Amino acid sequence: MNLPAAEALLPDGRWMDAAALLTGAPVVAYCGSGITACVHVLAMELAGLPPAVLYPGSYSDWVSS
């Protein structure tokens, strides 16, 4: 499942509450370069959600492989 930040994590300029973000599945965060995804992983941790995995190569690495 793809969960774009602008559409899902920041509706009306606010973070969704933790209960709304629970997926029941492991989460892997990635973005274009790996930088923005770090913010999402940190936000999930601060919200008390299960740990997420950061794919540091992100889209740039995946496309070039």
Catalytic option among 27, 31, 44, 52: 31
- Decide if 31 is catalytic: yes
- 3-state secondary structure at position 30: coil
Which residue type sits at 17?
D
Angle at 8 between CA 3 and CA 10, to 5 degrees: 135
- Active-site positions read 31
